[in-house]
Amino acid sequence: MERRDTVQLGTQCGPLQRIARLPFSIVLVLPAQLIMLLVVVVPTLIVVWLSLTDWQPTDNIPWFKAEFSWFWNFYDLLSDERFVGAVLRTLFVVALCVSTELVLAVALALLFLDEWPWRKVAVSVIILPMMVVPVDAANAFFMLFNDHGPINQLLSLVLDRPFEYAWLADPHWALLPIIFAEVWQWTPLMFLLVLTAFLNVPRNQWRAALGLGATPAQAFFRVVLPLSLPVMLVAVLIRAIETFKIFDVIYILTRGGPGATTESISMYMYNGAFVYFRMGYVAAAALLVLFVVVSVCLALFKPLQKHYE
Amino acid sequence: MQNDDEAQKAVDRRSFLKSAAVGTAAFAAGTSLLSWARPAKAAGSLANVQSDAARAAKELAGGRVVTLRILEPSGSLGNIKPVADRWTADTGIKVEYIEVPLGEINQKVLLEAVSKAGSFDIALPASFGIPDLAESGILVDLDQLASKYEPEGYQDSIIYKTANYYKGNFYGYETDGDAYVMFYRKDWISDPEEQKRYADRYGITLKVPDTWEELDQQLAFFHRPESGRYGGALFRSQYFIAWEWWVRFHAKGFFPFTDDLAPQINNDAGVKALEELAAASKYLYPGARSNGLFENFEAYGKGDSYANIGWGGTQKYLNGDKSGVKGKLTYGPTPGGKVNGTLVRTPYFNWGWNYVVSSLSKEQEIAYLFTLYAVSPTLSTIAVRDPGGYFDPFRDEHYKDPEIIKLYSKEFLDVHEASMRGSIPDLYLKGQGEYFDVLRVNVQAADVGQKAPKQALDDTAREWDRISRRIGRKGQTVQWRFLKGLYPQAARSHLV
Amino acid sequence: MSDRNSARAPRLPKVLHRVAVVAAMVIAFFPVFWLLSTSFKPYEEWASSPPHWLPKKPTLQNYRIVFAPESARRFAATQAGSLDYKVSGSAWAAFGTSAVVATAATLLSVVAGTLAAYSISRFRIGGGSFAFQFLSVRMFPPIAVVVPMVVLFSMLRLTDTHLGLILAYTAFTLPFSIWMIRSFIEEIPVDLEGVAQVHGMSQVEAFLKVTLPLIRGGVLATALFVFILNWSEFLFALTLTSGHVVTVTLQVANYVSASSGKLYGVQAAMGTISTIPVIVFGFLIQSLVRGLTFGAVKE
């Protein structure tokens, strides 16, 4: 393609003139780049610095004068059972949530492939969860899982005995309401993506399969599903990345408690920074997490990118 | 039998009040030690302190429009607003409130030290956070302003002032009386049938318990879930659980640290205290592990538990119209323990709120004058009177005010006052938040059965060493030894 | 929408199918229903045992507390035993703040994003991986940059300001804006602009007058999507402010009181109202992108 990216914008004075001399293409991305620089790049550099110190506000020294402590933070982190627990727990939650969302989404999408009179209404109701502010949804689940809440009431009816379990105070089961809330809220998104993928499978392929004697079920598994796989994979990846950052739900429901039994990585870092104020330590944790996330995503993205280009 | 009990109770109460009085003397000595560094007091009498403060503030404001912003814990507005409204009437200076959830106010103040947003002039952090806040530089050292404006004798009638000072400097007035107090069902204790059954089973009389062992026994005795009755309400949720352990541990006769700052919390006494705490959990109401402050009030107020632990704020609720146990309660100090044959009591001042001034404030002098105004004898009485907040009596005058007596009941105030006078200080060291957070998490882990008590306390002790090391052992040891000296004589002589 | 072949799905008996769909609808709606129902419950019914599915004595008091605290106080004074809640401000400020911050951040994000997306798409700036650079920002757990942001903002005096939040929100929604708008731009052939330029328009004009109108729907959908993200945002609002700038997501957490703990009903009322813009915009987006697939897949 011809490079026609320089443009004359007249002869104003000063910085405008200098910007005018830049290639037009650069000028266009300047606003975005500047914002990213300020809000993302500079803070990341600060994180790198902080992770090599043990800065705490109670030391009453400005952060750039904090005492250097080399790589001790990283060393301590790797043997910190609370941090390792948070990482493993987050990976567990991501795996459980995303796989549950995918299965439910596929099942739901199957129900919506056909047309029937009130289909549009049904779709609108099903996608309602993802249009509720996450904080408010979390509050709703807080009320639902209350000792005297409807979930316990329904369980009492099923089990035929009074059931007043304090879900959110139990170190073993407190993750359940959290996973519930997360799956409830985001299955509709997966559902939409999966349904769109199913509906976009070219009709000829489907017709051909049926023509060759396949049953609808076989045609589905052998034709529709494989062709939808790329979209489903993207959906899974998107949801995995978002679930990895899970924070709002946990903050509202348990704050990471009881103890540290429902702490995700984000909750751990929030507690570390804003409750315990160990900011140097948390910066090191943040760096470790960033490193892992970016390398995993790059490793996964390269083949996907090639697939799309 | 009854008369003996009455006599016994009277003797116990008297001896407790006596030791408390001795404690007060020691306290006064201790705090006067603290105030030696402060310059001589200014002229101006105590009787006119609020008009003087108001006048000085008005002069400083000149003709400007000044607004004081107060960062307050949610729910305390009832205690601040009546005072602030009078202030605005007297000085023309407006007051704005920034409300924060009550478990988070200390962090919000500490966050100011980092973010430097300058969003408030005055704050009401919980007293145990003063050391950390002072170290971070967000608090104004009020010695100068106090020497300028504080009249002679102003702080004399404030019963508990330990938290006002850190490393010899004055940071703000204590404005709440948060000694830990016990609540019991008077009608259950004095029921002759229950008394007989108890005497038959245990061989001793049923009365307000002196020791934790006795309390645990009574909790087990009254725990009858089949008939809808529970041994106790109390607290087993994370924010509160470590406080009960703290008293149980001290009552066994030990300080948390040795003189060399080595943690003692994981010795046999500490482990036993934790085991007993976890064992007592079986006799508590079902919500103990998940419920916070207000849920505790409501649950005990329903009337199906025998005992509860709490503060004046608890009593404000229980003696109010929403409570089902009004008039049915008797009170006691937190139980003590038998150390070498003597009964040792260690009442515990474990919360409290202090008025502090932010070092980022542009109106520090006026802000200080507001706190002087608000904590003055007359106005603090008005504040404590309000049932819509949780400031409890903290000055001698409060215990004589008829409205306050009506609000809390005389019986309660007697026990409250004695506990205030004899209470051990909280862990006023740099890093208090960290020390206690580790303790809380581990105590709760032991309580729910995730960790063995010995393991939990060993982990805590190890973390405490690490925290001490990071903070600087030498300075911390000096500060700890000083803090040890602030324990009331009656308790200190029995602790090791 | 592509027409449906009724033989697509593995066949399920009609009744079973309808029941399954209804069950899914009930599960989807139930928490929202509970929120709505609680918002009309009086104080005694918030956490009653057994729980009341519908309020036995519906009241508007919760909404009064949220929007008209004076009126709420007067009402509480007339009703013995009703909630006596001293509130220090109404929720109007929170709605105003959220509206201002979300709108400004959305505008900034979409404008900067469109410019950048155009440059990436037409000039292939930074090679093909530029887009992924931006997307990798989306992978950052925001908490990782919050601590240094607090520090940085404190030095720039941006803590607890509207501008600070706006900048933070913009930076974290830019990847979406660029990604989505880029895919819309890619669907418009470059030749269209070439033709316009042959007819005398400059390159800028060609973009503004030819391409932009064609992707108008997509840009609007992106803007609505970004607005929803900004409106629902919680972490930055929590950590980058200290009481002066309060968004709707933060305001909900302010409804706790000394004597009653968490005020479920009031929180539910606040939650219900603050969710309405999201629902409205969400359905708007749905109708706009009917046929589009968020650029994830091409036919």
Higher pLDDT, C141 or B57: B57
What does the pLDDT read at residue B446?
92
Query: How far apart (Å, rounded) are the C-alpha atoms in residues B134 and A58?
Result: 8
Distance (Å) from the C-alpha of residue C170 to the closest C-alpha of chain B?
Answer: 21
Q: What is the pLDDT of residues B335-380, one digit of tens each?
A: 999 998 899 999 999 999 999 999 999 999 999 999 999 999 999 9
Query: How far apart (Å, rounded) are the C-alpha atoms in residues A134 and A143?
Result: 14
Does the pLDDT of residue C206 top 90, yes or no? no
Residues of B with CB under 8 A from a CB of A: 107, 110-111, 113-114, 132, 135-137, 237-238, 286-287, 289-290, 430-431, 433-434, 437, 441, 444-445, 448, 450, 470
The sign of the dihedral angle between the CA atoms of B464, B467, B473, B478 is: negative
Query: How far apart (Å, rounded) are the C-alpha atoms in residues A86 and B305?
Result: 38
When pLDDT is averaged across residues B406-411 and rounded to a whole number, the result is 93
The count of other CB atoms within 10 Å of the CB of residue C156 is 13
Q: Which class for C203: exposed (0-12), middle (13-18), buried (19 or more C-beta within 10 A)?
A: middle
Strand partners, C256: C262
Q: How would residue C299 be classed by pLDDT, with cut points 50, 70 and 90?
A: very low
- Enter the DSSP assignment of A61: S
Long-range contacts of C212-216 (CB under 8 A, 24+ apart): C212/C114, C214/C188, C215/C181, C215/C184, C215/C185, C215/C187, C215/C188
- Which of B71, B99, B115 is nearest residue C159 as measured by Cβ atoms? B115
Find how far residue A151's CA is from the centre of its chain: 27
Range 127-186 of A in CB contact (< 8 A) with C: 127-137, 139-144, 146-150, 153, 164, 184
Nearest CA in chain A to B443: A259
Q: Which class for A237: exposed (0-12), middle (13-18), buried (19 or more C-beta within 10 A)?
A: middle
Exposure b/e, A97-124, CB count within 10 A at least 16 = b: bbebbbebbbebbbbbbbeeeeeeebbb
* C50 prior amide bond cis, ω within 30: yes
Query: How far apart (Å, rounded) are the C-alpha atoms in residues C27 and A122?
Result: 12
- DSSP letter for each residue of A96-120: HHHHHHHHHHHHHHHHTSS--TTHH
Say yes or no: B287 contacts chain C, CB-CB below 8 A: no
Say yes or no: C260 contacts chain B, CB-CB below 8 A: yes
The token pair at A13 is 């004075």
Distance (Å) from the C-alpha of residue C66 to the closest C-alpha of chain B?
Answer: 15
The token pair at B212 is 């934790």
- Best probe of the B interface among C44, C46, C84, C86, by most B CBs < 10 A, is C86
List Cα–Cα distances, A264 to A82, A187, C287, in angstroms: 10, 20, 36
For chain C, give the mean pLDDT.
Answer: 81
| Phi, then psi, of C293 in degrees rounded to 5 | -125, 40
Judging contacts by C-beta atoms under 8 Å, the chain C residues touching residue A198 are 8
C-alpha closest to that of A6 among C123, B378, B312, B349: C123
What does the pLDDT read at residue C8?
53
Does the pLDDT of residue B400 top 50, yes or no? yes
Distance (Å) from the C-alpha of residue C1 to the closest C-alpha of chain B?
Answer: 50
Judging contacts by C-beta atoms under 8 Å, the chain C residues touching residue B313 are 258
- DSSP letter for each residue of B12-72: HHHHHHHHHHHHHHHHHHHHHHHGGGSPPPPS--GGGHHHHHHHHHHHHHTTS--EEEEEE
- Which of B102, B120, B388 is nearest residue C86 as measured by Cβ atoms? B388
Say yes or no: B77 contacts chain C, CB-CB below 8 A: yes
Chain A: touching chains (3 or more CB pairs < 8 Å) = B, C
The token pair at A260 is 């540290």
The token pair at A150 is 């409807």
Q: What is the pLDDT of residues C233-250, one digit of tens each?
A: 999 998 888 878 889 998
Q: Which class for C37: exposed (0-12), middle (13-18), buried (19 or more C-beta within 10 A)?
A: buried
Higher pLDDT, B131 or A213: B131
The token pair at A256 is 């990471």
Half-sphere exposure for B155 (CA within 13 Å, toward CB): 22
The token pair at B403 is 């409205």
Q: Which of B286-290, C129-133, C274-278 has the highest mean pLDDT?
A: C274-278
* Residue type (1 letter), A143: M
Cβ–Cβ below 8 Å for B81 and C154: no
Say yes or no: B98 contacts chain C, CB-CB below 8 A: yes
The count of other CB atoms within 10 Å of the CB of residue A279 is 27
- DSSP letter for each residue of C66-132: HH-HHHHHHHHHHSTTS-----SS-THHHHHHHHHHHHHHHHHHHHHHHHHHHHHHHH-TTGGGHHH
Does the pLDDT of residue B15 top 80, yes or no? no
Cβ–Cβ below 8 Å for C136 and A298: yes
Judging contacts by C-beta atoms under 8 Å, the chain A residues touching residue C297 are 196-197, 200, 230-231
Cβ atoms of B181 and B331 within 8 Å: the answer is yes
Judging contacts by C-beta atoms under 8 Å, the chain A residues touching residue B289 are 166, 169, 258
When pLDDT is averaged across residues B297-307 and rounded to a whole number, the result is 91
Does the pLDDT of residue B329 top 60, yes or no? yes
What does the pLDDT read at residue C2?
40
Query: How far apart (Å, rounded) are the C-alpha atoms in residues A131 and A121?
Result: 15
Q: What is the pLDDT of residues B248-291, one digit of tens each?
A: 999 999 999 999 999 999 999 999 999 999 999 999 988 788 77
What is the pTM (predicted TM-score) of this model?
Answer: 0.83
Q: What is the pLDDT of residues B127-137, one digit of tens each?
A: 999 999 999 99
Cβ–Cβ below 8 Å for A111 and C20: yes
| Phi, then psi, of B172 in degrees rounded to 5 | 160, 155
Nearest CA in chain A to B292: A169
Find how far residue A242's CA is from the centre of its chain: 1
Distance (Å) from the C-alpha of residue C108 to the closest C-alpha of chain A?
Answer: 9
- Best probe of the B interface among A69, A170, A277, A282, by most B CBs < 10 A, is A277
Judging contacts by C-beta atoms under 8 Å, the chain B residues touching residue C242 are 98, 108, 111-112, 115, 117, 119-120
User: Widest CA span of chain C, in angstroms?
Assistant: 79
- Enter the DSSP assignment of C49: S
Distance (Å) from the C-alpha of residue C87 to the closest C-alpha of chain B?
Answer: 8
Higher pLDDT, A223 or B220: B220
Share of chain C above pLDDT 70, in %: 82
Least confident window among A226-230, A294-298, B123-127, B136-140: A294-298
Cβ–Cβ below 8 Å for A135 and C142: no
Find how far residue B81's CA is from the centre of its chain: 22
Nearest CA in chain C to B112: C242
Does the pLDDT of residue A10 top 80, yes or no? no
Cβ atoms of B271 and C237 within 8 Å: the answer is no
Helices (H), B62-189: 77-91, 105-115, 130-136, 143-149, 186-189
- Which of B137, B237, B448 is nearest residue A60 as measured by Cβ atoms? B137
Does the pLDDT of residue C295 top 70, yes or no? no
Does the pLDDT of residue B31 top 70, yes or no? no
Residue length, chain A? 309
The token pair at A31 is 């606003």
Least confident window among A18-22, A79-83, A148-152, A225-229: A18-22
Q: What is the pLDDT of residues A230-274, one digit of tens each?
A: 888 888 988 988 899 999 999 998 888 777 889 999 999 999 998
Does the pLDDT of residue A182 top 90, yes or no? yes
Nearest CA in chain B to A60: B136
Least confident window among B3-12, C249-258, C265-274: B3-12
Judging contacts by C-beta atoms under 8 Å, the chain A residues touching residue C144 are 47, 269, 286-287, 289-290
Does the pLDDT of residue A303 top 90, yes or no? no
Judging contacts by C-beta atoms under 8 Å, the chain A residues touching residue B444 are 258-259
Cβ–Cβ below 8 Å for A305 and C128: yes
List Cα–Cα distances, C14 to A114, B32, B472, in angstroms: 11, 86, 74
Higher pLDDT, A281 or B387: A281
- What stretch of H or E contains B326? none
C-alpha closest to that of B263 among B492, B480, B489: B480
Higher pLDDT, C163 or B16: C163
Cβ–Cβ below 8 Å for A276 and B448: no
Query: How far apart (Å, rounded) are the C-alpha atoms in residues B79 and B374?
Result: 10
Q: What is the pLDDT of residues A113-133, one digit of tens each?
A: 888 888 889 999 999 999 999
Say yes or no: C154 contacts chain B, CB-CB below 8 A: yes
Query: How far apart (Å, rounded) are the C-alpha atoms in residues C99 and B378?
Result: 45
Tokens 């601590």 appear where? C147
Query: How far apart (Å, rounded) are the C-alpha atoms in residues A204 and B486?
Result: 87
Its ipTM equals: 0.85
When pLDDT is averaged across residues B191-210 and rounded to a whole number, the result is 92
For chain A, give the mean pLDDT.
Answer: 83
Q: What angle do CA B53, B57, B60 make, to 5 degrees?
A: 145
- DSSP letter for each residue of A188-224: HHHHHHHHHHHHTS-HHHHHHHHHTT--HHHHIIIII
Chain C: touching chains (3 or more CB pairs < 8 Å) = A, B
List Cα–Cα distances, A12 to A8, A15, A23, in angstroms: 11, 9, 16
- Enter the DSSP assignment of B424: B
Does the pLDDT of residue B110 top 80, yes or no? yes
What does the pLDDT read at residue B168?
87
Cβ–Cβ below 8 Å for C119 and A137: no
Judging contacts by C-beta atoms under 8 Å, the chain A residues touching residue C157 are none
- Best probe of the B interface among A58, A73, A83, A253, by most B CBs < 10 A, is A58
Distance (Å) from the C-alpha of residue C296 to the closest C-alpha of chain A?
Answer: 7
What does the pLDDT read at residue C291?
47
Nearest CA in chain A to B132: A58
* A62 prior amide bond cis, ω within 30: no
Say yes or no: C253 contacts chain B, CB-CB below 8 A: yes
